Copies of this chain bind each other. A is one copy, B any other.
Amino acid sequence: MYCEGYDELDLRPLLVVFCAERPRNPGEGTMAPSIEPVCRSLLSPHAPLEPLSQDELARIHAASLDVLQDVGMDILHPEARDILAKAGAWVDDERVRFPRELVEEAVARAPSRFRLWHHDESAYLEFGGNAINLGLIASAPYCSDLAGGRRPGTIADLAKLTRLADNLPAVRMICGYPVEPQDLPAPTRHLDAVHAFLTLSTKPCHAYSLGGARIRDALEMIKIVRGVDEAALAARPSLISIINTSSPLRLDHPMADGMMVMAQAGQPVGITPFTLSGAMSPVTLAGALVQQNAEALAAVALMQIVAPGAPVLYGGFTSNVDMRSGSPAFGTPEYARAALAGGQLARYEGLPYRSSNVNASNTVDAQAAYESMTALWAAIMGHANLIMHGAGWLEGGLTSSYEKVVLDAEMYDRIEATLTPLPEEAWNFDPADLAAMPRPEEALTEDSLQPLQEAYASWRPEPAVQRAAREVQRLVADHRPPPLDPARLAALDGFVARRKHEGGAEAA
């Protein structure tokens, strides 16, 4: 049940899983289809788990503002530095220091919730409060399946993983390249990838902020497919981009550039510092969270100065490294605590929250599953509005596993079912029904046991990964791309051909 006092944290009505029946926000866009769009987010019926006290939260917040004011952050984008200087920041070469009030006032402009739309506007995802959304794995250089083993990603694998995700209700959105299409040239790779996302699924998708040009291409392609103009796209965004700071305390040029283009187009970005305790962050959790908060707030502040009110997610990716090998550890207690605390920090700053479903196993085994379950539960109990890498992540993110996509979706489906309240009628029960139950010796007779014994005799151990491999085959074979107007498809193809002819992102 809900805690008393949690309502102040902007909680949605309880015990409702799908929010289709909630009234739409007024003026939300002009592209309303004839069918009322449905919300595809899971709404948690439970208050979030919060490991930090209010005092600890306030101390982390204050320390992160001290860091931005006294130490500052390298912003490797000259125009962004000029904008920040005009807003009152102190700029010294690439280092920018932020007055405390500047950060607090800018961050306060960010909305505490926003929506992301399916490209056909039939459905949307809610980000904020207790709404939770699972995304597909992103950015793995390799992919693997039982039959083919591990190999570098290709555009064919990217398309196949997109089909798989489109056919899995648990996966709510595409969060980046599910595997890096290494067979395509870098300057035009984004055109083929976004083309695949838009023609194989209506689920919201992602473009990488590797400079503004790639983002502008993705925005154009989405406008073509949706048949909308800039204003309508801004009113109902359907593209997201994840911005990673280069920890410690640096925001690179391409990321800043992409972020500003996204913000001006009204499309949400997730700001995620990659703060690994013992590597690019202090070894203590407190130190890593202070750094995470400082880096996230600096990027959010820049974004909100450029485009006040632009939708944004506060991202947490804090974990620890294995101090013997230097490998990132995931799904550990340190990770889970940081993920829960990250949710508290995001709510403290008034921002929606992004976490992940990660593990450090290098095969689809018990460890992969229990580390993923740890990360999933921490994300869900921490009210992560976006769970990045929600399905398919293996080997610390190096590999996108087809079988793990299916198993992660299975895990998430089960958690979602557990958190979906039963209808009121489900609790009716007539005590007389129990009087009619068969006695133990009536229920367990030779005849009733025989089929069970036969079922048991034919039951052979089969690792879940083998079952999942069959399910991958079935789901990909069954997949049918969503209908797309032929004129729009032709326009999309034409845009991609033209931009390839121009040289892609390098010509921007």
Residues of A that sit less than 8 Å from B by CB? 1, 3-5, 45-47, 49-54, 56, 59-60, 63-64, 66-67, 70-71, 74, 246-250, 279-282, 284-287, 290-291, 294, 325-327, 331-333, 336-337, 361-370, 372-374, 377-378, 407, 410-411, 414-415, 417-418, 420-422, 426-429, 431-435, 437-440, 443, 451-452, 455-456, 459-465
Contacts and interface: CB of A to CB of B under 8 A. Distances in A.
B279 A418 contact: no
Contact of A363 (B246, B421, B463): B463
Contacts of A362: 459-462
9 contacts: A70-B431, A70-B432, A71-B432, A249-B434, A326-B451, A366-B464, A367-B464, A370-B373, A373-B373
Nearest 10 Cβ contacts at the A-B interface: A333-B417, A3-B3, A373-B373, A369-B369, A366-B369, A367-B464, A363-B461, A365-B463, A66-B431, A333-B418
Given A372-B370, A407-B370, A363 B462 contact: yes
Contacts of A440: 246-248, 250, 280
Nearest to A403: B366
Contacts of A415: 333, 374
Contacts of A426: 284-286
A436 to B, nearest CB: 9
Nearest to A62: B431
Contacts of A246: 440
A411 B368 CA distance: 12
Contacts of A279: 443
Contacts of A439: 74, 248, 250
A455 B291 contact: no
A429 B282 contact: yes
Nearest to A364: B366
Contact of A366 (B250, B285, B456, B463): B463
B363 A414 contact: no
A331 B366 CA distance: 14
Given A3-B4, A326-B452, A427-B60, A333 B414 contact: yes
A365 B461 CA distance: 10
A415 B49 CA distance: 13
A71 B434 contact: yes
B370 A411 contact: yes
A437 B366 contact: no
A286 B70 contact: no
Nearest to A248: B437
A92 to B, nearest CB: 13
A60 B427 CA distance: 8
A455 B366 contact: no
A279 to B, nearest CB: 7
Contacts of A70: 431-432, 435
Contacts of A53: 1
A66 B430 CA distance: 9
Given A291-B434, A411-B370, A439-B248, A56 B427 contact: yes
B336 A418 contact: yes
B286 A429 contact: yes
A279 B445 CA distance: 13
A240 B361 CA distance: 38
Nearest to A373: B373
A461 to B, nearest CB: 4
**Most chain B beta-carbon contacts within 10 A, residue among A366, A414, A421, A459:** A366
Contacts of A333: 414-415, 417-418, 420
Contacts of A361: 464
Contacts of A281: 437
A327 B452 contact: yes
A495 B377 CA distance: 50
A374 B418 contact: yes
A418 B286 contact: no
Nearest to A5: B4
A328 to B, nearest CB: 10
B443 A67 contact: no
A418 B74 CA distance: 34
Nearest to A467: B367
A420 B361 CA distance: 24
A250 B364 CA distance: 44
